[in-house]
Chains A and B, each alone.
Chain A
Amino acid sequence: MSDFESRGQRFVALCMLGILLFNYPVLALFNVPGSVFGIPVLYAYIFIAWVALIALMAMVAESHGRDRH
């Protein structure tokens, strides 16, 4: 069961990370004029952070592969 618990903890940590990334004050850091590859900074940041978060979730979800019940 410890595998289950540790995976749960990793997911909770990812959720925390997400809440941190997508809220004040981190968002405010990117709410500035300018652009990245032609895309306004804030929009670029949100989408990049989003992709990264999903990638991490995929890694945790698939990391142990098989389920034991």
Chain B
Amino acid sequence: MRKKILVADDEPNIVVALEYLLQRAGYEVHIARDGDEALRQVEAHVPDLVLLDVMMPLRSGYEVSRCIRERSDWRHIKIVMLSAKGRDAEVNKGMEAGADLYVTKPFSTRELVEKINGLLAS
């Protein structure tokens, strides 16, 4: 069965790119445009991995991450944070919120897909 990935970002072009990349890599991709929708999608599909933009309307990536980590039945979900902000403080904040990986925009698509593959294989 194909692994499921949720892409949550409010920047539509980035979503298009990620969706294309991940589908081509063989994943089932779901989309969310804001924090609330992201949580609804997690509830609905229980993905294996969530790609979270930090600066999203309604609920930031940090918040969504924390919500996911609060549920024991979602403990297995891997979280990758995507952000245009790359300062140490922000990376740390992301990790504290429960992310497995913090990727700074812009990113190399190949590296991102490799890292996701790595996370899901382990």
Please tell me whether chains A and B touch each other in their complex, using a CB distance cut-off of 8 A. Answer: no
Binding site for B on A (CB under 8 A): none
